């Protein structure tokens, strides 16, 4: 994995861990629970990605990523962040979603996966941590009912692949995908956008 993707993974790890720690604290978990939920939120997506690609787990080869998790947990405990997740934390979570989408998709392309599997792997890399986090915290999973997380990730991953297929370099393609993921996610939160639901 090149330096660019390592940086993306570090930022994504911290962002997801911070959101996970905040959510766990808001659910009145003890320090062990906060650490566990933060770790699961931060590492599940990347672990799944690397297992599918049959490559070593990033947080084992690069243990400084575990430092990102510990930093998020320590900040949550020291500053006693136990309130419900607010707009700032949702913004951080959106950054994590964008970073994870881009990192998963770009890595899959680097390892010569076809475009569609690369898009799907980028999507799953981005959303699995948050889904598992919400299930552990016993709150309705954001992925399944609001904020178009999956849709934003899918569009961003698709845009990255299309840009590379059109001849863009990885940095530009990643920037396009990243901006789209964050933009769609934040607008959906502000405008209360959701995918259609069955009514009745």
- Using one digit for the tens of pLDDT, what is the confidence trace for 90-119? 787 888 899 889 989 999 999 999 999 999
Mean pLDDT of 143-169: 89
Cβ atoms of 77 and 90 within 8 Å: the answer is no
Q: Residue 85: what pLDDT?
A: 61
Range of the structural domain that residue 79 is part of? 3-191
Residue 196 lies in a domain: no
Averaged pLDDT, 165-178? 92
- Model confidence at 58, in pLDDT bands (50, 70, 90)? confident
Say yes or no to pLDDT of 71 above 60: yes
Does 200 fall in a domain? Answer: no
The string of DSSP letters for 43-98 reads: HHHHHHHHHHHT---HHHH-THHHHHHHHHHHHHHHTT--SPP-HHHHHHHHHHHH
Higher per-residue confidence, 142 vs 160: 160
Task: Look at residue 45 and tell me if it is in a domain.
Answer: yes
Give the span between the Cα atoms of 173 and 165, in whole angstroms: 10
Is 27 part of any domain? yes
**Confidence class of residue 145 from pLDDT cuts 50, 70 and 90?**
low
Task: Please tell me which residue, 6 or 105, carries the higher pLDDT value.
Answer: 105
Nearest residue to 93 (alpha-carbon basis) of 141, 127, 137: 127
Specify if 84 maps to a domain: yes
Tell me whether residue 30 is in a domain.
Answer: yes
pLDDT of residue 162: 97
Domain annotation covers residue 54: yes
Question: Is 186 contained in some domain?
Answer: yes
Q: Which residue has the higher pLDDT, 106 or 85?
A: 106
Q: What is the mean pLDDT of the chain?
A: 88
Q: Structural domain tally of the chain?
A: 1
Give the whole-angstrom CA distance, residue 35 versus residue 41: 10
Stretch 54-67: mean pLDDT, rounded? 87
């Amino acid at each position: 994995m090149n330096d660019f993707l390592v940086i993306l993974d570090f930022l994504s790890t911290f962002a997801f861990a911070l959101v996970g720690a905040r959510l766990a604290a808001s659910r009145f978990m003890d320090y062990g629970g906060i650490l566990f939920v933060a770790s699961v939120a931060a590492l599940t997506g990347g672990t799944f990605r690397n297992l599918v690609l049959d490559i070593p787990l990033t947080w084992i080869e690069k243990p400084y990523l575990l430092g990102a998790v510990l930093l998020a947990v320590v900040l949550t405990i020291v500053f006693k962040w136990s309130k419900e997740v607010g707009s700032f934390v949702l913004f951080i979570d959106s950054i994590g979603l964008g970073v994870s989408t881009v990192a998963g998709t770009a890595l899959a392309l680097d390892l010569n996966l076809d475009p569609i599997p690369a898009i799907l792997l980028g999507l799953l890399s981005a959303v699995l941590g948050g889904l598992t986090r919400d299930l552990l915290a016993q709150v309705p999973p954001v992925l399944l009912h609001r904020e178009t997380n999956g849709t934003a990730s899918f569009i961003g991953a698709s845009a990255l692949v299309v840009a590379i297929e059109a001849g863009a370099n990885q940095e530009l393609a990643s920037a396009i995908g990243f901006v789209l993921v964050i933009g769609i996610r934040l607008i959906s939160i502000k405008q209360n956008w959701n995918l259609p639901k069955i009514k009745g």
